[in-house]
Chains A and B, each alone.
Chain A
Amino acid sequence: MEKELIRLENCTMAFDDEVVLDNISLSIRDKEFLTLLGPSGCGKTTTLRIIGGFTKPVSGGVFFDGVRINDMPPHKRNVNTVFQKYALFTHLNVFENVAFGLRLQKPKLSKAEIARLVDEMLEVVSLRGFNNRDASSLSGGQQQRVAIARALVLKPRVLLLDEPLGALDLRLRKDMQNELKRIQQQTEITFVYVTHDQEEALAMSDTVVVMDGGIIQQIGSPEDVYNEPKNAFVADFIGESNIVDGIMRSDGEVEIFGRRMKCLDGGFGKDEPADVVIRPEDIDIVPLGSDAAMLTGQVTNVTFKGVHYDIIVDFKGFKWLIQTTDLSPVGGKIGIKLDPDSIHIMKKSRYSGMFGDYSSYSAEYDDISDASLGEDDVEDDE
């Protein structure tokens, strides 16, 4: 385990009395790939800008290697940023964009040294030979690489990336994800990555920080936040989740829909109300009437997704999403079985009852939610 490099301590941020960060604390270890994940306006970009030095928290401390850096301007921090939509200098070519920071370094670097470093870095981002191209004549992916090279060439301890893949199309995005991960491992630089795309976060990160409403909801490895979400928001934001009301009857036993089921969670008070998460892929469909069927419901909607079907099943007026490879016709009744390890129990939170119901499910469900998240973090900007 590497040692801590950056620490945010009780940071609060507000613009015109609107609180965008509410007393957050966060520790970032050296050489890790940490992702700030959340919907638009959750405070993730603000957090990044505080680390970069572009904004100062109203209260709280920012520490780098144990030293408080609240008042240190960006150009004195050993941190560089890859900005949203790249922010390349349009009046400079590729070489000059990458050389921009090098030319400002003191003591002055020789011309040959600058040329060598730039060429080396363009090699790392696979842009050899693009030196004299106009920044504006490049494709999105290429501009992205220039932006990364421009920041990395200064050999920062930390690279901040603000939705760097947001403007790329899906295919290119997947390629760049691998590319970024490779660059991070090759250069051994700490990456702090901001995104609203949960798949991206899970695929790339060592640590995921889930944020909403200016508050950190959960910090953990990708497996942790997926398998053990802390509350309904996290469960819903990462992956698909059915969330129902339950009552913990005792450790290892939860009651939903009036039925007691075995689970692996504990540590709740007796008969404490809780949120119960069941992932759509963890639900087994069993023949109707068989002993294994713990609940029965009626299929109301089927969507073919390629690898599996998304089916919506009505259990006593509550609609669940189930992912299955077996085709069940609309209108048919099915039984389901839940293994103890497919049930996850969460404490009640202010998000209880807001997520996890698929009553309004339609085939476009994913597109709609993606579109609303795809907007820029307007509220996050100053």
Chain B
Amino acid sequence: MTKNRLPGRLYTALIMLFLYAPIFVLIVFSFNATKSRTVWAGFSLKWYTALLRDKQILGAFYTTLAVSLISAAVSTVIGTFAAIGLFDMKRKLRSPVLFVNNIPLVNADIITGVAMCMLFVALGTFLKFKLGFGTLLIAHVTFNIPYIILSVMPKLRQLDGNLLDAGRDLGCTWFGTLWRVIFPEIMPGIINGALIAFTMSIDDFVISYFTAGSDVETLSMSVYSMTRKRISPEVNALSTLLFVTVLILLLAINIRSRGQNKSPETR
């Protein structure tokens, strides 16, 4: 049954054009010889070399990378344990916790950001600290954990309860069961959640904007401050590099998993 897939594919191609047009523009103009972002003046790598010398942009990039990596790791640990704990809870106890858990997911980023900012300012005057990397990190962990729980919970629901008994039966202590049975079985969910968390952190602007204070800047924030004057094509260059890196990574994962899928069939 081979239906005519052409209209569907054509439509998909059009949407893809829409999604990728600005990215294409960005990449092309990262190689532009002048600062213009509309007029092509010839090929040049000067923005890439300038990027390597630009301490501000590189600093913002490192901050972004650090906060994304650390918050993904921290939220994965807290979130995975939390999911296991929540799963074990009675419904009466679980529902209110899950309700609060969902607030950052459905709430507008700007409200999450503003609210946390107010909390940090209030706590800061009390405990004598200023908004900075620490508060930025806390904010990221806070909005990342729900994604971890969201992707781990279904895996726990799929888990055959007997597996846990089987682990204990075969000699695992309580902790051993957690380590040797539960974690490996729900690992795909954990990894998936960690990836989502990392992506969300990298892409976040609004919450970082409100919680990072004036001394720390993520990449999104420096881009935003640049929009008031003019965005330096160096940022285009950095984004192009990032984009290509992710593209290569995803392709590699994709090819590997395709290879894995094939092996059992050929056996």
Known contacts A81-B165, A85-B160; 12 additional CB pairs below 8 A are A54-B165, A75-B171, A75-B173, A83-B166, A89-B166, A89-B184, A90-B185, A100-B170, A104-B171, A104-B176, A105-B171, A150-B166
Is the beta-carbon distance between B165 and A89 smaller than 8 angstroms?
no
Contacts of B163 in A (CB 8 A): 87, 89
Is the beta-carbon distance between A74 and B160 smaller than 8 angstroms?
no
Chain B stretch 116-142: residues in CB contact (< 8 A) with chain A: none
Question: Is B172 an interface residue when CB atoms closer than 8 A count as contact?
Answer: yes
0 or 1 for each of B255-267: is its CB under 8 Å from A? (1 = yes): 0000000001000
Question: Is B17 an interface residue when CB atoms closer than 8 A count as contact?
Answer: no
Contacts of B264 in A (CB 8 A): 134, 137
0 or 1 for each of A71-84: is its CB under 8 Å from B? (1 = yes): 00111000111011
Is the beta-carbon distance between A80 and B168 smaller than 8 angstroms?
no
Question: Is A171 an interface residue when CB atoms closer than 8 A count as contact?
Answer: no
Is the beta-carbon distance between A74 and B168 smaller than 8 angstroms?
yes
Q: How many contacts A-B (CB < 8 Å)?
A: 67
Chain B stretch 166-183: residues in CB contact (< 8 A) with chain A: 166-174, 176, 180-181
Is the beta-carbon distance between A87 and B187 smaller than 8 angstroms?
no
Chain A stretch 88-147: residues in CB contact (< 8 A) with chain B: 89-92, 100-101, 104-105, 134, 137
0 or 1 for each of A49-71: is its CB under 8 Å from B? (1 = yes): 10011100000000000000000
Contacts of A87 in B (CB 8 A): 160, 162-163, 165-166
Is the beta-carbon distance between A381 and B161 smaller than 8 angstroms?
yes
Can you identify 9 A-B contacts, CB atoms within 8 angstroms? A49-B165, A52-B169, A75-B172, A80-B170, A89-B181, A90-B185, A91-B184, A101-B170, A151-B169
Given A87-B160, A89-B181, A89-B185, does the pair A104, B172 have CB atoms closer than 8 Å? Answer: yes
Give the residue name and chain of the B residue nearest to A91 (CB): B184
Cβ of A161 to closest chain B Cβ, rounded Å: 12
Give the residue name and chain of the B residue nearest to A156 (CB): B169
Contacts of A83 in B (CB 8 A): 162, 165-166
Question: Is A219 an interface residue when CB atoms closer than 8 A count as contact?
Answer: no
Cβ of B92 to closest chain A Cβ, rounded Å: 13
* Bound: A92/B184 CA distance, A: 9
0 or 1 for each of A307-351: is its CB under 8 Å from B? (1 = yes): 000000000000000000000000000000000000000000000
* Bound: A302/B181 CA distance, A: 54
Category for how many chain A residues contact B: 20 to 34
* Bound: A83/B170 CA distance, A: 12
Contacts of A81 in B (CB 8 A): 165-166, 169
* Bound: A79/B166 CA distance, A: 12
Is the beta-carbon distance between B169 and A75 smaller than 8 angstroms?
yes
Give the residue name and chain of the B residue nearest to A90 (CB): B185
Give the residue name and chain of the A residue nearest to B187 (CB): A91
Cβ of B60 to closest chain A Cβ, rounded Å: 40
Cβ of B266 to closest chain A Cβ, rounded Å: 13
Cβ of A380 to closest chain B Cβ, rounded Å: 12
Q: When the two chains form the complex, which single residue of A49, A91, A151, A154 contacts B185, counting CB atoms closer than 8 Å?
A: A91
* Bound: A84/B163 CA distance, A: 10
Q: When the two chains form the complex, which single residue of B161, B162, B171, B187 contacts A101, counting CB atoms closer than 8 Å?
A: B171
* Bound: A87/B163 CA distance, A: 5
Give the residue name and chain of the A residue nearest to B158 (CB): A90
0 or 1 for each of B27-47: is its CB under 8 Å from A? (1 = yes): 000000000000000000000
Is the beta-carbon distance between B168 and A54 smaller than 8 angstroms?
yes
Contacts of A151 in B (CB 8 A): 169-170
Give the residue name and chain of the B residue nearest to A132 (CB): B267
* Bound: A21/B166 CA distance, A: 23
* Bound: A74/B170 CA distance, A: 8
* Bound: A137/B264 CA distance, A: 9
* Bound: A89/B163 CA distance, A: 7
Is the beta-carbon distance between B169 and A74 smaller than 8 angstroms?
yes
Contacts of A84 in B (CB 8 A): 162
Cβ of A204 to closest chain B Cβ, rounded Å: 22
Contacts of B167 in A (CB 8 A): 100
Is the beta-carbon distance between B160 and A52 smaller than 8 angstroms?
no
Contacts of A92 in B (CB 8 A): 184
Is the beta-carbon distance between A73 and B170 smaller than 8 angstroms?
no
Give the residue name and chain of the B residue nearest to A100 (CB): B170
Give the residue name and chain of the A residue nearest to B163 (CB): A87
Chain A stretch 139-198: residues in CB contact (< 8 A) with chain B: 150-151, 154
Question: When A and B form their complex, which 4 residue pairs have the shortest distance between CB atoms, in order from nearest?
Answer: A101-B170, A87-B162, A104-B171, A83-B162
Give the residue name and chain of the B residue nearest to A154 (CB): B170
